A and B are shown apart, each in its own frame.
Chain A
Amino acid sequence: MSTLTAAWAWLTDPAHWTGDDGIRDRLLQHLALTVVCLFLSCLIALPVALVLGHLGRGGALAVNISNVGRAVPTFAVLVLLLLTPVGRWGEGPTVVALVLFAVPPLLTNAYVGMREVDRSVVQAARGMGMTGRQTLFQVEVPLALPLILNGVRIAAVQLVATATIAALAGGGGLGRIITAGFNLASTPQVVAGALLVAVFALLVEGVFEAVERLAPAWARGGR
């Protein structure tokens, strides 16, 4: 119990919040890394998944890439990137690793969402004279939206976790508070950092949960 009290004291000490590498800085870094990399990953993964799903090609790739992403340790990729020339660009390895691990869930969920759209609806759209592009954007994407958004949510949670591990390989973000705590052998700081990370991750999950609740019924789907 005393560790928790000490961790709480560490968290509520105003000196730890301000200044370079204070909690506020680390929080903003973590948020920036998560948001920027989520945007980048969506930009890369969603167009590919939507086109593949629309054409019905490359399904094995889109589905198996998730399994590959799970088998490769995040930490190993971070360190490998750090030792390559990418490692010289500051946050380079972190950004590349974050994007690499956010792409598989986005790709798999969006692809599966597109393929699960009722084929008869797609055929009806074609029968009404819709072009391929119209079918994609006005029929398939809206119907696949619940699964696409589910992929975005999994990717966001994954990004928060990966950004934390990036601290082990010298990246910025809230994980740095934990690794600094380990280096100082300060259990209260380690626990305080871990609490911040956990609350941050749960907040991200909560935001997506709230968006899902507030979204119109058709965007929620059956899930």
Chain B
Amino acid sequence: MTAPPDDCLARNEWICGAYLSTRRQILLDAVVQHLQLTFLSVLIGLAVALPLAVLARRWGWAAGPVLAVTTVLYTIPSLAMFSLLLPLYGLSATLVVAGLVLYSLTLLVRNILAGLRAVPEETRQAARGLGYGPVRLLLAVELPLALPAAMAGLRIATVSAVSLVTIGAIVGFGGLGNLIYAGMNTYFKAQVLTASVLCVLIAVAADLLLLGAQRLITPWAGAART
């Protein structure tokens, strides 16, 4: 029988170096799951949002319904959204991704559409005058000009997704949210604080990464427009 060690884990302190060293693998797995869920949902959201926004721009009548549906989706609280998807996907990672896709979709459609609408009519006419067809006009003129607004939407969608993944803990696929949930049930302060801080760090890192990408692909926008 050895006496219980008197370290920060036994004292249940908020900040604990021993937690980091002994639970390295658990933390790493949670971070990887967190990143996978976020990345997959934002990517799928982007793949669906882009054509939707382009269609809504092309056919004016479609814009109203598309924006109305996205507003309704965005109003539904995340916990309810995951719960409504439960009969469709069961307790799976797919459920979390599907819920997050719906949120990213909303933010992205709104922003891309706003960007496309902000392209000046003279610019479009100038491109047409140069002999641009509708496809080339879209790809070479409208989409590049809508990029700053679209990237702003992408940053908001990514940061929101990082934070919403934690709610996935309710079905056991919440990345760092799983650790927060487990830590809550066992009053494990170091685990809750470490997972929360990591979550914020991931969000900030993702935001900065996208900001850097935005600067690279839209050099004409300048630093003032972020």
Contact = CB atoms under 8 A, between A and B. Distances in A.
Interface of A: 3-4, 67, 70-77, 79-80, 82-83, 157, 160-161, 164-165, 167-169, 175, 178-179, 181-182, 187, 190-191, 193-195, 197-198, 201-202, 205
Interface stretch (B44-52, B127-135, B160-168): B160-168
Contact of A73 (B187, B189, B193, B196): B196
Contacts of B180: 73, 75-76, 79
A187 B95 CA distance: 14
Contacts of A167: 79
Given A79-B183, A161-B78, A165-B77, A74 B163 contact: yes
Contact of A190 (B83, B162, B187): B83
Nearest to A6: B87
A72 B75 contact: no
Nearest to A82: B184
B86 interface: yes
Interface of B: 71-72, 75-81, 83-84, 86-87, 156, 159-160, 162-164, 166-167, 169-171, 177, 180-181, 183-184, 187, 189, 192-193, 195-196, 199-200, 203-204, 207
Contacts of B75: 157, 201-202, 205
Contacts of A75: 166-167, 169, 177, 180-181
B154 to A, nearest CB: 13
Contacts of A194: 79-81, 83-84, 86
A210 to B, nearest CB: 15
Given A168-B167, A187-B86, A83 B79 contact: no
Given A73-B166, A182-B171, A190-B86, 19 more contacts: A70-B156, A71-B162, A74-B163, A75-B166, A76-B199, A76-B200, A79-B184, A80-B196, A157-B75, A164-B78, A175-B79, A181-B83, A193-B83, A194-B79, A194-B81, A198-B80, A198-B84, A201-B75, A201-B80
A42 B177 CA distance: 30
Given A80-B192, A161-B78, A165-B78, A72 B83 contact: no
A83 B163 CA distance: 20
